[in-house]
Each structure stands twice: as C-alpha cells, then as structure tokens.
Amino acid sequence: MTGPPQDRPGESPGRQGGPPPFSGRQPRAVRSTLAVLEEVVAAGPGVTAKEISGALGLPPATTYRLLNLLVAEEYLVRLPDLRGFALGRRAARLALPAVTTLPTAARGVLEHLRGMVRWGVHLASFDGGQLRIVDPDPDHPPSDADLLARYPQVSALGRLLLAEQPDWRALVRDLRTFTAHTVASPDELTARLAEVTRDGLARQCGELRADRGCLAVAVRAPGDGRLVAGLALSGPAHRIADPDPELVEALRDHARRLEPLLA
C-alpha cells in the first residue's frame, strides 16, 4: 500500500512539484491585489494610488505595495505623466478578445456620413460597460481616448452609456471640472441623463474643451434593443447648443443603418 508522499527534512513542499500551501495572510493579500486590479478597470486609465486607496479602504502603504507588484508583473503600467495607472500588457490576457475590426459595410456607413458633414464622425463601443472609440474620424481626431473612458460624463458618447445604468455613480468616480461649462453637480448630471433617455440624443457643449462639443445617438441590437455602440458628431460648441434638425436626423439615420451590422 502506497501512502501520500512525505516531505523530506529541510525541503519545502513547493520543491516537490506542487505549489506551496497558502500561509494565513496570503488569501487576504490575493483578494486585495485582485480588488486593486478590479478598481483600475472600473475607474479607467489614470486612476491614482490615492483614489484606489480611498475607494477600497486600504492603507496607502498597502495600496502602493500592491500597485508596485502589479506594475512589476506587467498587469498595470504607470502612465507617462506619473499621475496614475492603467492596465498593462498581461491584463489583456484576463479578458476575452474583443472584436476590433469593423465590418466593411459598417465602415461604409461611417464614410458615407463623413462625406455628408464637415463634423467629426466617431463610433464607440460599450463592451463591458466601458467607452472605447473603435472608429475615430481620421480627419477630425476625437479627444484623448483615455480621458473619454475615464470621464464618460463629459462626452455625449459617455452620456449614452451612463443613461443606461441603474445608477450612473457605478461608472463615474470623479466629477472633475475641465472647463467653466463642465457639469460637476450630481443633480445636474442626473437631469442631463434624463434628457438623453427622453430625447434619444446626448450632447455636451464645451464641457471637455471649451471650443468643442458633440452629439451622439445610440446604436442598439435589433432583437432586444441592447445598447451596443454610439455614433457621434463633434464640432463647434456653439452649434451643439442648437443643432440643425437635418443634421440630427442624418445622425439617427446612419445609427439605424449600423444596427444590423454591429449587433
């Protein structure tokens, strides 16, 4: 009869081929590390150590230690300006691969709209509850993609996403002010999102850049009406405040054309 293998004197179990057993504090440390990683995903690129520490209720020293570990293991990276963190190369292996190539027919719809207007035309996806620009207008580049992902409340595309949430606070961690026009009041943002739901049209006028604004409409799955993407026009802020109805109708029409192509 053969019994279980016995440790040799002076040899750790891990050296015999299996992982070493957890010590008493290790499960808690693993949970904290995963919570930090999850918080970076939820808050978006640029989240700071102080913000993570506050959100998770972790001591600053513990937070910095875990962040340094995740950076060393390439699950996180420090942004070039050293103001925050973003997901690193190895983090991409934790998620299912996203489809980044648009169907030819969808690209044709976007090019058609770009040929009709002199505004920037951008398409964003909302996979996983995150705003991601998947087809930026090459002739009218949108604002920094990291800013749009981190502060969805200051873009029309982001407001489409927030208006679908039971509570927008789940996706907005910081009502940061960028210009004198930025909506930074929770009550006012709630009112703006109610307008999006009522009108089926999101807008922002000079809230991220004082001279620019954008309009956006939803692209929904034909079967269940699920929000899958957003189609936006960006242009001069003063024209967003009172947009041309024909321009808005063109935007809606092209969003409807995209629905069977993106669902």
The phi and psi torsions of 172 (rounded to 5 degrees) equal -120, 115
Sign of the alpha-carbon dihedral angle for 218, 222, 228, 232? negative
Token pair 């954008």 is found at: 214
Q: How far apart are CA 63 and CA 57, in angstroms?
A: 9
Q: Is the model's pTM score more than 0.85?
A: no
pLDDT digits (tens, 9 = 90+) for 27-80: 788 889 999 988 888 787 788 899 899 989 999 999 999 999 999 988 888 876
* 110-114, 159-163, 239-243: least confidently modelled range: 239-243
Give CA–CA dist 106/131, Å, rounded: 18
Residue in the structure block whose two tokens are 């002199």: 118
Q: What are phi and psi of 234, to 5 degrees?
A: -120, 140
Token pair of 29, please?
A: 């440390």
Structural domains in the chain, CATH included, are 26-95 (1.10.10.10), 104-259 (3.30.450.40)
> Distance between CA atoms of 69 and 93, rounded to whole angstroms?
17
pLDDT of residue 21 exceeding 80, the answer is no
Which of 28-32, 66-70, 190-194, 252-256 is predicted least confidently? Answer: 28-32
Contacts with 148 (C-beta within 8 Å, 6 or more apart), sequence order: 124, 131, 133, 142, 155, 157, 158
Backbone φ, ψ for residue 80 (5° rounding): -55, -30
Tokens read off for 197: 């739901």
CB 133 within 8 A of CB 148: yes
Tokens of 3: 């019994």
Q: Residue 53 and residue 191: Cα distance in Å, rounded?
A: 30
